[in-house]
Amino acid sequence: MTENKRRQQQASVLRVFRKIHRWTGALLFAFFFLVAVTGLLLGWKKHSGGVLLAKSYTGTSTDLKAWLPIDSLHNLACKILHDSVSPDLSLKLERIDIRKDKGMVKFVFEDSYWGIQLDGATGNLLTIERRRADFIENLHDGSILDYYLGTSNGQIKLAYTTVLGLALLLFTITGFWLWYGPKQMRKSATNRKLD
């Protein structure tokens, strides 16, 4: 293969990669922007002064034997949610976080991103938290659409993360080649002049 033919092939590959890079970026710009902003916020959530992620408060005892039964704590959390936030909210739990080392139990409700922190021993309210970081995480990974559309197995999240992951991989490969390819072409042109 002649040097000129090889150079034309390299230029052709560069044009194809540039086109793929440009079109992928144009089509997925809003998604990349959303992932970048939400990823940045999630990285800073513990350093947001309680705006994105509520502080975990400390209860009176770390001895589980001194704690109220979980079902009693759960009933208290449900009552507090309905009395203090809204009686219309669902009491369906997303999870229960037991923080033995802090003497605290956190009830995270599925509906509207609310959490209740209680003292494990006394059942006293430590804080009512708006779980903004959970909302941001659901935006970040696309599961917010599964939540609002009621899909059963996270199909939208799977499709969303697959498309964005493959697009990022494609961006990395084409971006590298758009940087490296011209260097190779210049190097081969310089070598040819020296011969």
Radius of gyration from C-alpha coordinates of the chain: 27
DSSP string, 59-108: -S---GGGSPPHHHHHHHHHHHHHHHT-TTS---EEEEEEEGGGTEEEEE
CA gap 163, 61 in Å, rounded: 47
pLDDT of residue 154: 86
Cβ atoms of 156 and 55 within 8 Å: the answer is: no
Q: State what percent of residues in the chain have pLDDT above 70.
A: 94
CA gap 16, 9 in Å, rounded: 11
* pTM of the full structure: 0.75
One digit per residue, the tens of pLDDT, for the chain of length 195 reads 576 777 777 778 778 888 887 888 888 888 889 999 999 999 999 999 989 999 999 999 999 999 999 999 999 999 999 999 999 999 999 999 999 999 999 999 988 899 999 999 999 999 999 999 999 999 999 998 888 888 878 899 999 999 989 988 988 888 887 787 777 767 766 666 665
Q: CA 147: distance to chain centroid?
A: 15
Torsion sign over Cα 42, 80, 93, 156: negative
CA gap 15, 37 in Å, rounded: 30
Mention every residue, 6+ apart, whose C-beta is less than 8 A from residue 127.
Answer: 54, 55, 57, 116, 117
pLDDT of residue 83: 97
pLDDT of residue 192: 63
CA gap 114, 135 in Å, rounded: 10
pLDDT of residue 39: 94
